[in-house]
Amino acid sequence: MKQDSLYVSTLAKGLKILRAFDETHVSLSLKELQKRTGLEKSSVQRLAHTLHVEGMLDRAPDTRRYRPSHAWLELAYNYYWSDPLVARALPKLIEFSQAKGETINLAQISQDHIIYSLRLPNQRTHFAASIVGRRVPALITAAGRVILSTTGDDEIKNACAHWPVESFTPKTLTDRDTIFENTCDARDNGFCLTRDQILLNEISLAVPLTGNDGRARAALQISLSSRTYTPEQVVDKFLPALLDTAAGILG
C-alpha cells in the first residue's frame, strides 16, 4: 500500500466511504462516516460530497444523511453482463425454480468466501437470503465446501485449516476437522449437504459447476426447510434435478 507508487490513496479513501454502508448502516451522517472510516472530517466531507455529485450517494435533504444510490444497482447490472457464467446459468435457474418452487442460488467462490450472484427465492426465503451479493465464509456453506472439494487434496487441507469460519447459528459447525471430513465426503459424493449452518431449520444442498480443468469456481445450491424434509428426502427428491440443471449449464 504505502510503498506502492501506483497506488492512488485518494481513490481508496473514496471507496472506503462506499464500503462504510452495510446491513446495519443503511444511512450515515458525516460524523458517522468519519467514525466508521477513520478518515479526517474534511476528507469525509469532500469525498462524500464528490460521491454525491457523481451520483454514487443520495442525500436526504432534511436529515443530511447519505445513502447508497441507485447507481449501486447499475454496477451490479454491468457486473452481470461481464460474467459469462451468469448468462448461461440464469435461464436454467429460472427453469428449476419454476419447476420445483424452491429457492435456488448460484454461488461463486471469491477468495475464501462465497458470494451469491443469482438468487431465485421462494416465499419462505428470508430477506438476507433473497438478495444477491451476500458474502459468507466458504467453509460454513455447502456451496463453498463443494467448490473446495473439486480442488487438490493439499488445497482442501490448507483451506480447512486457515480459511475463516464464523458462527451464524448456535449449530454452525466451526470444528475444522469435521469441516474437512465433510468436504472430503463432498468430493466423493459430488454434492454437499449441510443443516442449520446459516439459518436454523435450513437444509442446504449444493453441487459444483465444474470447469474444463475439473475445478469448480461456482456451485448451485438450494435451500429447504428441515420442517418439511429430512436430509435424505432432500437428496432423493432434488439431487437429480439439481445435477441436471448443473449439467445443462455446463453443457
Partner DNA sequence: TTGCATAGTATCACTATTTGATAGTGGCGC
Partner DNA sequence: GCGCCACTATCAAATAGTGATACTATGCAA
Give the nearer residue to DNA in terms of CB position, either 24 or 42: 42
Give the nearer residue to DNA in terms of CB position, either 8 or 123: 8
The three-class DSSP label of residue 196 is coil
**In whole angstroms, how close is the CB of 214 to its own copies at the nearest point?**
19
**In whole angstroms, how close is the CB of 220 to DNA at the nearest point?**
33
Instruction: List the strands of the sheet with 113-120, edge to edge.
Output: 135-137, 113-120, 103-110, 216-225, 202-210, 192-195
Select from its own copies, DNA, none the partner in contact with residue 73, using the beta carbon and a kind-dependent cut-off of 5 to 8 Å.
its own copies
Give the nearer residue to its own copies in terms of CB position, either 180 or 238: 238
* Alpha-carbon distances of 180 from 12, 43, 116, 160, 173, rounded to whole Å: 37, 46, 22, 6, 11
Select from its own copies, DNA, none the partner in contact with residue 172, using the beta carbon and a kind-dependent cut-off of 5 to 8 Å.
none
What amino acid is encoded at 226 in this protein?
S
Select from DNA, its own copies, none the partner in contact with residue 80, using the beta carbon and a kind-dependent cut-off of 5 to 8 Å.
its own copies
CB 106 within 8 A of CB 89: yes
**In whole angstroms, how close is the CB of 60 to DNA at the nearest point?**
10
Select from its own copies, DNA, none the partner in contact with residue 31, using the beta carbon and a kind-dependent cut-off of 5 to 8 Å.
DNA
**In whole angstroms, how close is the CB of 190 to its own copies at the nearest point?**
25
The residues, ordered by sequence, that sit 6+ positions from 32 with a Cβ below 8 Å of its Cβ are 20, 25
Rounded (10°) CA dihedral 108, 114, 118, 121? 140
Select from DNA, its own copies, none the partner in contact with residue 40, using the beta carbon and a kind-dependent cut-off of 5 to 8 Å.
DNA
**Which residues sit at the interface with its own copies, rule CB under 8 A?**
1, 4, 6-8, 10-15, 18, 21-23, 26-27, 45-47, 49-51, 53-54, 56, 67-70, 72-83, 86-87, 90-91, 94-95, 98, 101, 108, 110, 115, 117, 121-123, 125, 127, 130-135
- Strand intervals (E) in the chain: 57-59, 66-68, 103-110, 113-120, 135-137, 192-195, 202-210, 216-225
Distance CA 80, CA 11 (A): 24
